[in-house]
Chains A and B, each alone.
Chain A
Amino acid sequence: MRIITLSYRKIIDISADKQWDKFVFEDSYMEFKMQAQNFSAGTAFTSYGEILRNVPDGQRLTGLITPAVSGYVQQLNGVVPDVLNNSGRRFLKFNRFQLEIINSDIHLKERHQIAINFFTVPQIWHDTIGDLMLVSEFAGTYQSEDEIYTYLLRMQPYLNIHSVKDVS
């Protein structure tokens, strides 16, 4: 029996059109702009890449910006956005997230691109049917004769199997 966790990488940039995505884009950009100026002061650097390469501790920016999106992640109530099961519902529960700054610029909002990586609770991977995985939440114990409720999930872009554990 295999226990897996999945990860979903949600990329948000200026083309975001859903309300949640737009809030996250706007607020994370404003926070990047404000925090980055702590690192760029006295330099001519304006882009995230330049700061990362040239300013000591520039990698702290990701942690400094995370509090700007925490409130929005909380509004998801622990369910990964966008990823639907075969019944057309969001169902994957996550218990960790990590913000990732892909690119940004203090002056150029259109360069701002972030990703939020969601890491799911453990799932049992029961079977694979075509390109659909049959999974169920792993509750900590599993008896093979139990009837458990499962979901069919299609492997899709930006969805990854983050970890695997063989349990016999």
Chain B
Amino acid sequence: MERKNFLKSLMIGTVSSSVLIDACKKDAAASATSTTATSGTTTTANGSCSVIQTETEGPFPTKSPALYVRSDITDGRSGYKLTIKIIVNNSNNSCAALENALVDIWHCDAEGNYSEYGGGGMQNTNYTNVHFLRGRQTTDVNGLVTFTSIFPGWYSGRATHIHVHIYNAAGNSLKITQIAFPEGTGTALALVNGYSKGMSGYTPNAADNVFSDGYALEIASVSGNIKDGFELNISMSVPA
């Protein structure tokens, strides 16, 4: 339709313009029973119509959250499904649930690789996600955030872990920590068995340098199986 193309070409330019469209007359000429369906104009059987509003310069940007803000962080990486539930409470407030805290998590894929490593290179406009297995959620009234991901792999020198960074709503850091996984026969870690890498050369929690200052509070409870997927639950107290 001619009018649509005309408006579309106006949107590309930054030149402000007021537009007086008398489209209804044209439509009436084309077909006696047709009505224009665009905003700002009405047409009646007689062909009288309203002036379309002045068009200010476009495009009209809308608030767009960072690509990290998502609950499903799988991003096409293959692995056993892992639901991650983190509850955050406030150690400065009798451990009451902490609402509106921002929780960032990130972890490696089944092969032990992280996204966003070596960042700063050219970014293609097809917006390929190079930030797999990274996500951000805001705690609800119960202090809870939930992510859908895959069970992490492992890499040399580290036990399997998930990075967590908790911020207040203003973006100020409250806690940087890591989640550790239970070890031993029958645990999820044992069932996953390092994916195709196996567990040869694996560093257990007790030998992990990062966990050498103690990790009792960082061990999550992990349930599930390979067929149905796993679920991880952990509560964290942070000073807010």
A interface vs B, CB < 8 Å? 19-20, 23, 27, 30-31, 33-34, 37-38, 41, 59-64, 66-68, 70-79, 84, 87-91, 94-99, 119
Q: Decide if B61 touches A23 in the complex (CB within 8 Å).
A: yes
Q: Decide if B66 touches A75 in the complex (CB within 8 Å).
A: no
Per DSSP, are chain A's interface residues mostly helix, strand or loop, or mixed? helix
User: For the complex, what is the distance from the CA of A33 to the CA of B172, rounded to whole Å?
Assistant: 8
Q: Decide if A96 touches B125 in the complex (CB within 8 Å).
A: yes
User: For the complex, what is the distance from the CA of A99 to the CA of B66, rounded to whole Å?
Assistant: 14
Within 8 A of A (CB), among B52-111: 59-68, 102, 104
Partner of A62, one of B67, B68, B120, B167: B120
B interface vs A, CB < 8 Å? 12-15, 59-68, 102, 104, 116-125, 127, 130-131, 165, 167, 171-173, 176
User: For the complex, what is the distance from the CA of A64 to the CA of B67, rounded to whole Å?
Assistant: 11
Q: Decide if A34 touches B104 in the complex (CB within 8 Å).
A: yes
Q: Decide if A94 touches B125 in the complex (CB within 8 Å).
A: yes
Partner of A91, one of B12, B121, B167, B172: B12
The smallest beta-carbon distance between A75 and chain B, in angstroms, is 5
6 inter-chain pairs at a CB distance below 8 angstroms, sorted by A residue, are: A20-B59, A33-B172, A68-B66, A72-B61, A72-B64, A96-B122
The smallest beta-carbon distance between A121 and chain B, in angstroms, is 10
The smallest beta-carbon distance between A28 and chain B, in angstroms, is 9
Write out the residue numbers on chain B whose beta carbons fall within 8 Å of the beta carbon of A63: 116, 118-121, 130
User: For the complex, what is the distance from the CA of A7 to the CA of B61, rounded to whole Å?
Assistant: 22
User: For the complex, what is the distance from the CA of A119 to the CA of B122, rounded to whole Å?
Assistant: 10
Partner of B116, one of A27, A60, A75: A60
Write out the residue numbers on chain A whose beta carbons fall within 8 Å of the beta carbon of B127: 70, 74
Interface centre among A30, A66, A99 (most CB of B within 10 A): A66
Q: Decide if B118 touches A67 in the complex (CB within 8 Å).
A: no
Write out the residue numbers on chain B whose beta carbons fall within 8 Å of the beta carbon of A76: 59
User: For the complex, what is the distance from the CA of A160 to the CA of B217, rounded to whole Å?
Assistant: 54
Q: Decide if B119 touches A64 in the complex (CB within 8 Å).
A: yes
Write out the residue numbers on chain A whose beta carbons fall within 8 Å of the beta carbon of B165: 34, 37-38
Write out the residue numbers on chain B whose beta carbons fall within 8 Å of the beta carbon of A89: 12-15
Q: Decide if B116 touches A64 in the complex (CB within 8 Å).
A: yes
Residue of B nearest to A100 (CB): B120
Write out the residue numbers on chain B whose beta carbons fall within 8 Å of the beta carbon of A23: 61, 63-64
Partner of B173, one of A37, A62, A67, A94: A37
User: For the complex, what is the distance from the CA of A88 to the CA of B12, rounded to whole Å?
Assistant: 10
The smallest beta-carbon distance between A159 and chain B, in angstroms, is 15
Write out the residue numbers on chain B whose beta carbons fall within 8 Å of the beta carbon of A97: 123, 125
Q: Decide if A20 touches B171 in the complex (CB within 8 Å).
A: no
Residue of B nearest to A89 (CB): B13
Write out the residue numbers on chain A whose beta carbons fall within 8 Å of the beta carbon of B130: 63
Write out the residue numbers on chain A whose beta carbons fall within 8 Å of the beta carbon of B122: 96, 98, 119
